[in-house]
A and B are shown apart, each in its own frame.
Chain A
Amino acid sequence: MLAWQAVSRAVSGAVSKALALGLALGGGVCAPAISAGADNPPPQRVVSINLCTDQLAMLLAGQGQLVSVSHLAVDPMASAMVAEARAYQINHAQAEEIFRLAPDLVLAGQWSNPHTIDLLRRLGIDVVQFAPETGFDDLRANIFRMGAVLGRPAEAEALRARFEADLAALRREAAERPLALMHHANNYSSGDASLAHEILLAAGWDNAAVAAGLAGGPVAMELLVMLTPDLVVSSRRFPGASRAEEVLDHPAMAALRDRSRRAALSDAEWICGTPHVLNAVARLAGLHEAPQ
């Protein structure tokens, strides 16, 4: 359960069902990168079935090269590129509908349903899987890899360079770092091997859970309350009700938020390692000056 939730939040709450299935079936072996070198012509019809590869592919693909993105790419709760994604055909990561699109390359996540991926490979379609980004280094590596896979290394290099410049402009090297607590559904808090942790650090905060020696994952609410952070960052609610999200409204956590600054981050801003995480960095950095 613990590992499940850790990975689940790292990728996206919205893809958790598919993810649980992937984990339960022990899938998720990363395929070797297919580099589109001189002898390999770049793919002409690319279909992406994972929220994070959707966004990287939209940022890097050439005109007409990307055919379809997943339905999560048009979900404003999960995706930072809803408007862009509407220009593409939407798929639901089902082998049959993907096959009908006649792709020569499918982009998937490491935890995408292994049965779907097996089936596509047996049908003779190239599938490249990307691991979820657990930090800015993974983000850079995945941009570079996506550029190689799509045959657009120059665009990838330009995107990476722009990311570095924007990050450098935003990065705060404060001598004193106030404590920020990530509090999500199921009392999940981000550990040091997470994109959220690096976003906090880049924005000049310290991760309260990591500073107290807690591992990422679900943490007992008592322990979270004892951290007395200066900032509480929570995720936005999904529609419908869940007991997992009820902890966000618990009086103890509400009291903690009243005493500190608070921020609600949309999952869309930090769930995937794309340059869009800089929006989250900018918003969290801006909270240093905000009145209590």
Chain B
Amino acid sequence: MSGLRATTPRWLAPGLGALIAALFVASLLVGPAGLGLTETARALLLGQGEAAVLVMREIRLPRALLAVLVGAALGMAGAAMQGYLRNPLAEPGLIGVSGAAALGAVVSLQTGLAAAHALALPGAALAGALGAVALILALAGPRGGSLTLILAGIAVSALAGALTALVLNLSPNPFAATEIVFWTMGSLADRSFTHVWLAAPLIGLGCALMLSLGRGLDALTLGEDAAAALGVEMTRLRLGLILGVALAVGAATAVAGAIGFVGLVVPHLLRRIVGARPAPLLWASAMGGAVLVLAADIAVRLILPQSDLKLGVVMALIGAPIFLHLIYRMRGEMR
């Protein structure tokens, strides 16, 4: 079995790690405050410079950390869903999981639940994501074709988006309705450590759960019967996948809005490098997702420094052509 496949190259993990580190530092250095290199380092590491410390430790550091967390969550969730469905089009943003999570988050914010209890916001987003993953899996199933998957995804996305817009339009807050863009496109602007602490444990838990599915997903590439013969429990695998994806995507969306295409682009780029095996693709996509979101978040600050360009805009510019390319290649199956 392994003789047919290339093994994961040794340089992949350190290479992606180095990229993450470099982009993380770059993310800390980019910003309109115009701080110099030494000033930045002194404020961040030594706590010198009153205003600069606030800028570095309370504004830029949580933003960079969230980019890593959100990217890892979305990248790995994409790889996990694609591994389970054996379909490269399965992506949390495209099939409505992120949209449903955003709906959960918006409902908890507008009903006041989020203000009443700290865990209500990620909890509600998780519930939304959970519902969407379960629904998609029930509709498309492991044997479902691409057409079913995409159609189910369109329906779930449209419904979640419409309900999100409805809830925001009904809000007594005059600013709420203008925030439909944030919840559908995502942004890391002006997030704080509150959001980091809110998302980090749930994303960690979700990613750990998905990583534990690696062996099962690898076996599944041989078909369900072969996987069962190898001792993989399909019900357990499915449950772990639903929970893991919902935890990671729910927590990421609760703090950053629905960012699409990360889970599509990253596994697509890394699949050949890891020899098309789902297990290493999981961690590689998590690292690749962190790289992509960090880079995109730097890009939005460089392109339009003052106006909070949404991350989803950059992601769609990168992701949509890849999506079209995948559809083009799968035309035969789609008909």
- Residues of A bordering B, CB below 8 Å: 1-2, 13-17, 20, 185-187, 218-223, 225-228, 238-247, 250-252, 255-256, 259
Contacts and interface: CB of A to CB of B under 8 A. Distances in A.
Interface in B3-60: 31-33, 50-52, 54-55, 58-60
Interface in B136-189: 171-179, 182
Nearest to B169: A17
Contact of A240 (B54, B110, B178): B110
Nearest to B108: A241
14 contacts: A16-B178, A17-B177, A20-B178, A187-B190, A218-B308, A219-B306, A220-B33, A220-B305, A221-B59, A221-B190, A225-B51, A226-B52, A241-B114, A242-B176
A251 B191 CA distance: 10
Interface centre among B52, B114, B178, B305 (most CB of A within 10 A): B178
B179 A225 contact: no
B192 A250 contact: yes
B59 A242 contact: no
A250 B194 CA distance: 9
Nearest to B182: A243
Interface of B: 31-33, 50-52, 54-55, 58-60, 109-110, 112, 114-115, 171-179, 182, 190, 192-194, 305-308
B179 A242 contact: yes
Nearest to A187: B190
Contact of B58 (A15, A228, A255): A255
A240 B190 CA distance: 20
A252 B110 contact: no
Nearest to B121: A241
Given A226-B55, A238-B173, A242-B179, A251 B114 contact: no
A255 B31 CA distance: 19
Given A2-B306, A225-B54, A220 B175 contact: no
A250 B190 contact: yes
A218 B192 contact: no
A2 B306 CA distance: 9
A32 to B, nearest CB: 31
Nearest to B168: A242
A252 B175 CA distance: 22
B47 to A, nearest CB: 12
B54 A241 contact: no
A219 B177 CA distance: 21
Contacts of B59: 221-222, 225, 250, 252
Contacts of B112: 241
A17 B174 contact: yes
Contact of B175 (A218, A226, A227, A238): A238
Secondary structure at the A interface, as helix, strand, loop or mixed, is helix
A241 B174 CA distance: 10
A185 B176 CA distance: 11
Contacts of B307: 1-2, 218
Contacts of A225: 33, 51, 54-55, 59
Given A225-B54, A252-B54, 4 more contacts: A225-B33, A240-B173, A245-B173, A259-B50
A141 B58 CA distance: 45
A251 B58 CA distance: 7
Contact of A226 (B33, B109, B192): B33
A252 to B, nearest CB: 4
Contacts of A240: 110, 171-173, 176
Contact of A242 (B33, B58, B171, B306): B171
A223 B32 contact: yes
B16 to A, nearest CB: 29
B305 to A, nearest CB: 7
A259 B58 CA distance: 15
B172 A239 contact: yes
A185 B172 contact: no
Given A220-B32, A223-B33, A256-B54, A245 B175 contact: yes
B109 A241 contact: yes
A80 B149 CA distance: 55
A186 B175 CA distance: 9
A255 B56 CA distance: 13
> Which 7 residue pairs spanning A and B have beta carbons closest together?
A240-B173, A244-B175, A252-B58, A242-B175, A222-B33, A241-B109, A240-B171
A243 B194 CA distance: 14
Contacts of B115: 241
Contact of A218 (B58, B114, B306): B306
A247 B52 CA distance: 18
Contacts of B173: 238-242, 245
Contacts of B31: 220, 222
